[in-house]
Structure 1
Amino acid sequence: MVTLLQPRSAIVAAWPLRENAQAAAQARDLIREALTGLHIPQDPVDDAVLMVSELVGNAVMYGDPPFELVLRSLEGELRVEMIDSGTISPAMRATGVESEHGRGLGIVSELSGGRCGWHNATYATRSGPEGKAVWFVIPTSQVDLL
């Protein structure tokens, strides 16, 4: 169930995530439930679930805990943010056909139509260290969120 944290706030929902490899499965379930509850069509939900999985996997592999998933309502779109306290800036890298890693940000960029990025961020569910948010957006102009 999606819990509205503050009426008319930019934050629709925020969740602390596990601090291990199970965070990706947790995040996939949370974002699917939230977007389905907001009546987002199935195809964008499926894309968002894949993008969240990639971002959480990167955070667990290259970032530092704590991990947090945030869903924000912006004008005509939803922004999904994966926050961690790591200091490594995310960057897409060239990968070969045989590469097992390195495709995640490319997948996010492709599925979001290039509407993705990262910025310094504060956590929504806890006080403490600042982190970085790696994000993507989902157009929602046809959906009334609040």
Structure 2
Amino acid sequence: MGEETTTRRSLRYELTEGPGLAAECRDLTQRALAAWFGRAGARGREPVEDVLLLVSEVVTNARTHGSAPYELCLEGRDRALWVQVSDSSPGRPVPRAPHHAGRPSGHGLFLLQRLSARWGSVSRGRGGQTVWFEVDVLR
């Protein structure tokens, strides 16, 4: 029986409140993708665009529905990227049902359901929550 090998890389960023936070998180994620996945992590590939959109949505949701996110964690595992965004909101994310494409907002969790391989949230008690998702970068 062969041995299973997993290539794992991870980065943790402490975030500060301020303008351009979603763009900063997208840039950090883009650089990690390029470093870890090479040309597949280059701008313009569909899975990469999905990851960057989801990072923006999760960071924006944290800011809109809770508090400013305080941490972004990225972990590359073989063909996938696992993203975690932590904030101090005590509430867990709840998708609006049914989804209506014509609404001006409320699409973030719908996009997570549609574009990620899997997603969820972990309560940190009074310390907030972490929303996470995984996207297969090398499809």
- With the shorter chain as reference, the TM-score category is 0.7 to 0.9
Q: TM-score, normalised by structure 1?
A: 0.73
Higher helix proportion (structure 1 or 2): 2
Task: Give the aligned residue type for 2:10.
Answer: V
- Is 1:31 the counterpart of 2:11? The answer is no
Which residue number corresponds to residue 67 of structure 1?
70
Gaps in structure 2 of 5+ consecutive residues:
1-5
1:72–1:80 Cα contact (<8 Å) kept: yes
Number of the residue aligned with 1:4: none
Matched, 1:98 2:95: no
Asked whether the equivalents of residues 11 and 70 of structure 1 are also in contact (C-alpha less than 8 Å), the reply is no
Q: 1:101 is paired with a residue of what secondary structure? A: coil
Distance 1:141 1:54, change over 3 A: closer
Matched, 1:118 2:121: yes
Summarize the Cα distance change of 1:45–1:61 in structure 2 as closer, same or farther, 3 Å threshold: same
- Who is 1:3 aligned against? none
TM-score by length of 2: 0.76
**1:136 pairs with 2:133:** yes
Task: Provide the alpha-carbon RMSD of the alignment.
Answer: 2.7
Letter in 2 for 1:136: F
Change (3 A) 1:104 1:96: same
Larger radius of gyration: 2
What is the identity, as a one-letter code, of the residue corresponding to 1:28? R
Quick check: 2:68–2:87 contact (8 Å CA) kept in 1? Answer: yes
Tell me, which stretches of 5 or more residues in structure 1 are unaligned?
Answer: 1-7, 123-128
Deviating above 4 A after TM superposition, structure 1's stretches of 4 or more consecutive aligned residues are 73-76
Contact 2:115 2:135 (C-alpha < 8 Å) held by counterparts:
no
Letter in 2 for 1:92: P
Q: 1:130 is aligned with what amino acid?
A: G
Secondary structure of 1:38 counterpart: helix
Identity of aligned residues (%): 33
